[in-house]
Amino acid sequence: MLAVGVTLVLWASAFVGIRHLADDFSAGALSLGRLAVGAVALGLAALAQGMPRPTRRQWASIAAIGVLWFGVYNVSLNAGEQRVDAGTASLLIQVSPVLIALLAAAFLGERFTWTLSVGLVLAFAGVAVIGLSGSGDGAAPNDLLGVVLCLVAAAVYAVSVILQKPLLAQLSALQVTWLACTIGALACLPWAGQLVEQAGRAPLSSSLWLVYLGVFPTAIAFTTYAFALRHMSASSLGVTTYLVPPLTIVLGWLLLDEVPPVAAYVGGALALVGVGVARRRPRKREAAPIAGPDPAEAAVQAPAVPGAVPGAVPGDAGRDGR
């Protein structure tokens, strides 16, 4: 549970950090800077321990996780948070546990229950409310493109969890996180020019925030999440991320002086209820026990054996007649 707690707090702080850096770094440049710092930090720890060489099939999954979870996820989330506040973004990301359930049903053979169907409807109704909600001062609606970008991040996050779970049975959490983070950084290299230019004119505080995002919410939190995923089911671990939005809202209020609009709270609550319903397992009906014949009635109704002594065991009849 310690690994889960560390992950939740650091990921909540990441939403705040990304929002804080929205004016200093573009989405791609911020992704590259964060992932580069994270890859270096993870590499120092991984190379010190020594790691086995992944197979070709494992490399394919690691590459997909690196491009999707570390590349597409970060760019989409960073771009989304330039249009919506940190609390709203964290609420939208919480659709991912439902998407994980859908993918698990499609690719892992898990049952698609009626509770999952109802939960999907509720969750996406909540997303629609968030998308149509006003800004913190009620002046304008949330940017729909920002909402869509956050949902893209949630989708690739869900896909990556499904890909990562089998890997962790054979490779360490540190190795998978390091390799995927490095691949994600390589995928973001097209923004290297922007990163150099924007980092040169960004204030020192923003540069320190960038380093923080790379070391803590990326290197440490993604590793602790992978460690927890290795010891827990994907669905059980997904439930714990419901605590990220309230943590993000509190941190956003304390550090950024911003809170989501009232309608976003309603939509977020609806989405979280939907996710909770979707993850609820329907009760199995216990089969009624089949009543056997009453021993006394069986003895009365049993046909009489010629020459048998009442109460004697049938197999003893021969011995009694000696």
Instruction: Report the Cα 214 to chain-centroid distance in Å.
Output: 20
What pLDDT does residue 301 have?
Answer: 52
Average pLDDT over residues 150-165: 94
In a domain, 311, yes or no: no
What global pTM score does this model have?
0.76
In a domain, 301, yes or no: no
Rg value, the chain, Cα: 28
pLDDT tens-place string over residues 72-97: 999 999 999 998 888 888 888 988 87
Instruction: Report the Cα 98 to chain-centroid distance in Å.
Output: 9
pLDDT tens-place string over residues 166-197: 899 899 999 999 999 999 999 999 999 999 99
Q: Within 10 A of 59 (CB to CB), how many other CB atoms are there?
A: 13
What pLDDT does residue 176 have?
Answer: 96
In a domain, 81, yes or no: yes
pLDDT at 214 over 90: yes
In a domain, 15, yes or no: yes
The letter for the amino acid at 179 is L
- 65: which residues sit within 8 A by CB, 6+ positions away? 160, 163, 164, 167, 176, 180, 183
In a domain, 96, yes or no: yes
The letter for the amino acid at 118 is V
In a domain, 131, yes or no: yes
pLDDT tens-place string over residues 241-254: 777 877 887 888 88
What pLDDT does residue 131 have?
Answer: 63
In a domain, 148, yes or no: yes
Domain extent for 111: 2-278
In a domain, 302, yes or no: no
pLDDT at 285 over 60: no
Domains of the chain: total: 1
Answer positive or negative: Cα dihedral of 78, 143, 151, 125. Answer: positive
